[in-house]
Amino acid sequence: MSNEFEVSRRGFLVGMAGVAGTALAVGAAAPALGAQAKGGVQYTPGQALKWLKQGNRRWVNGNIKQKDHTPPNSDISKGQWPFASILSCADSRVNVERVFDVQQANLFNVRNAGNIGSDGISIGSLEYSVAVLKVALLVVLGHSNCGAVSASQNTLRTGEYPGGDIDDVVNAILPAIEGLPKDQTLPEGTWANAQYSARALKKSTIIRDAIDSGTLRVKYATYDIKSRRVTFA
């Protein structure tokens, strides 16, 4: 990871109605160990996080294996068994299957500009992954040189908006960064935005219940495009 991004991280750290009803019922039957896949294979939050970290190390080192953590003999044309959900930015440089070196069907992906976790569609999508698909880990993934965060910082400084519906993206990010110093850096804003989204997701009853039962963990992290490294908070 670039020194600027790492230093900024340290500085920041210091200073569907029917579907929902079904999901709650399914969630209540979740095993204590974590997400359960076909054949009784279980993923704990700790195991899921370990797989992500191991996969990113392979990506950083160029030791690509495209690991598959789905249950043996799984037919992805008939179902899906992701072990984690990733809320990431729509940026074309952020491909989470490559970043974490896994095959398709291993991760449940929700993407939007600025990895925003405070809107109903993103929350509902992730609730589905928790309650129905039984993912054991939910990660909000920001990234270096994020245009959505940069645009929001510009609006905070100047009061000027980019225009169009991009303004909705900016307005969703502003609450995450307006408490930072006026001379905040882009990496600091990126960390603050990822943390804000993670906190927003924890307000979901479905997500909170899964956390309280020990079957789910929510983390936030950033991806440095140049170094390829993901750093978890």
Q: What is the pLDDT, as a whole number, of residue 39?
A: 59
Q: Does 14 score more than 80 pLDDT?
A: no
DSSP 8-state class, residue 122: H
Res. 73 pLDDT band, cuts 50 70 90: confident
Pick the closest to residue 73 from 27, 116, 41 (CA basis).
41
Distances (CA, A) of 18 to 166, 200, 219: 31, 22, 28
Q: What CATH number should be reported for the domain whose range is 3-12+20-66+81-232? A: 3.40.1050.10
Q: What is the pLDDT, as a whole number, of residue 25?
A: 37
Q: What is the pLDDT, as a whole number, of residue 71?
A: 87
Locate the domains of the chain by residue range.
Answer: 3-12+20-66+81-232
Q: What is the pLDDT, as a whole number, of residue 96?
A: 98
Q: What is the pLDDT, as a whole number, of residue 40?
A: 63
Res. 37 pLDDT band, cuts 50 70 90: low
The model's pTM: 0.85
Q: Are 204 and 192 in contact (CB under 8 A)?
A: no
User: Which residues are CB-contacts of 183 (< 8 A; sequence separation ≥ 6)?
Assistant: none
How many Å apart are CA 226 and CA 50, to the nearest integer?
23
Q: What is the pLDDT, as a whole number, of residue 4?
A: 53
Q: What is the pLDDT, as a whole number, of residue 34?
A: 47
For 139-177, the pLDDT digits (tens) are 999 999 999 999 999 999 999 999 999 999 999 999 999
Q: Which residues of 42-56 are buried (b: 16+ CB within 10 A; e: fewer)?
A: bbbbebbbebbeebb
